Structure 1
């Protein structure tokens, strides 16, 4: 499979044009991935543009690609949105990486009541970190669309969202299975998966979400870590909606 790179130039480039990678992207292409002249690669802008091309020059400071083909990939509908509770260590980052590789369309960091990690004073740094993880994971997975990483949400924000989107809260004690409700989203509403922190979602948060219109669902008879629950749920949705 051809190597894939992301650049804003891909948004307007047409067959016959030359797209130039510079900076970190060029260094990654030439020094890390060892791309060579005449090698076939793909390029994207992260917003649906998909180019095929051939490398015409490759140095750690500049890689030139002659565009040979262009496609436009429409944005997925409905969108799959992962609301991932902040977690200690790198567990939330692992969740974000896996969900991106498996097809999530947007990610929302959630400052849940039981989140050990707190972003109160470092939200900008945390968001930048997650966006970097998402960008690299999307490139690795050869995705035409790079998922959005939205601002940090509080529980009240999720409750409001439950009034307009299909919000499914992953809760091991729920009576409904995700597989039973995954195909119910037949319109263009976002399908929002809410994953709690290590200690689970607090009872008052669950009550507020349900009162706002969210549904509690479980993945199966076992309890998954916060780092794997979202990825598993995205897989279920992808199969149910025909993406896989």
Structure 2
């Protein structure tokens, strides 16, 4: 059986033997919902949080396996780090460019593609999209997509959480794909219609 997984906002610099705490919504989920008790082992996955760009440069795939030492209140889990690891970068890296569908279909697409192994998502505002993300709506929609990617990664015990960006228009997407320095080699692009 796999260890219960929780997202941690900052595992950078953590070493075996360190005592760290998990608070906030994830801490509440561990303590109150899952009723995690002292002596149990957990998997903490470094989550991109608010600073996703720094995460994807340095800490992607960082995780710790830890033993619960104690709980405090209803939302703090205190653990001792047993091991620290970092999942190697995938090869090939899979980026899904998702046209913006209407309603909650996009969250389902992010969920399923994350569980299938996608590494990155780009929201695409194509000319034929019925749903439109204006400057006011886009940040909230991207946060929903990122939250869905985090949830799906946690559910499938992935230590690498896909990054979500965009929305890009068709010309912006073409320009992005032409920027060869973003890719280790010539990208292979599939278009599904």
What TM-score does the superposition give when structure 2 sets the normalisation length? 0.82
Aligned CA-pair RMSD: 2.1
CA shift at 1:164, angstroms?
4.5
Which is higher, the Rg of structure 1 or of structure 2?
1
**C-alpha separation between the residues in 2 aligned to 1:93 and 1:111?**
16
| CA offsets 1:182-232 (integer angstroms, 9 cap, x no match) | xxxxx644555555xxxx6xxxxxxxxxxxxxxxxxxxxxxxxxxxxxxxx
| CA offsets 1:122-156 (integer angstroms, 9 cap, x no match) | 11111111111111111111112111111201111
Check whether the contact 1:164–1:189 (CA below 8 A) recurs between aligned residues: no
| CA offsets 1:105-125 (integer angstroms, 9 cap, x no match) | 110011112211111141111
Please give the residue correspondences for 1:118-157 in structure 2 after superposition, counting only pairs within 5 Å.
Answer: 118-120=132-134, 121-157=136-172
Determine helix, strand or coil for the equivalent of 1:50: strand
Determine helix, strand or coil for the equivalent of 1:52: strand
1:179 is matched with none
2:117 is matched with 103
**C-alpha separation between the residues in 2 aligned to 1:189 and 1:35?**
46
Determine helix, strand or coil for the equivalent of 1:152: strand
Runs of 5+ unmatched residues, structure 2: 48-59
Determine helix, strand or coil for the equivalent of 2:126: coil
Check whether the contact 2:32–2:75 (CA below 8 A) recurs between aligned residues: no
Determine helix, strand or coil for the equivalent of 1:143: coil
1:161 is matched with 176
Runs of 5+ unmatched residues, structure 1: 166-186, 201-244
Which among 94, 108, 116 is matched to residue 94 of structure 1? 108
CA shift at 1:4, angstroms?
1.1
Check whether the contact 2:45–2:61 (CA below 8 A) recurs between aligned residues: yes
Aligned length: 176
What TM-score does the superposition give when structure 1 sets the normalisation length? 0.66
**C-alpha separation between the residues in 2 aligned to 1:54 and 1:188?**
41
**C-alpha separation between the residues in 2 aligned to 1:189 and 1:63?**
45
2:3 is matched with 2
| C-alpha distance 125-24 of structure 1, shift in aligned 2 (>3 A) | same
Check whether the contact 1:54–1:67 (CA below 8 A) recurs between aligned residues: yes
2:16 is matched with 15
**C-alpha separation between the residues in 2 aligned to 1:145 and 1:66?**
22
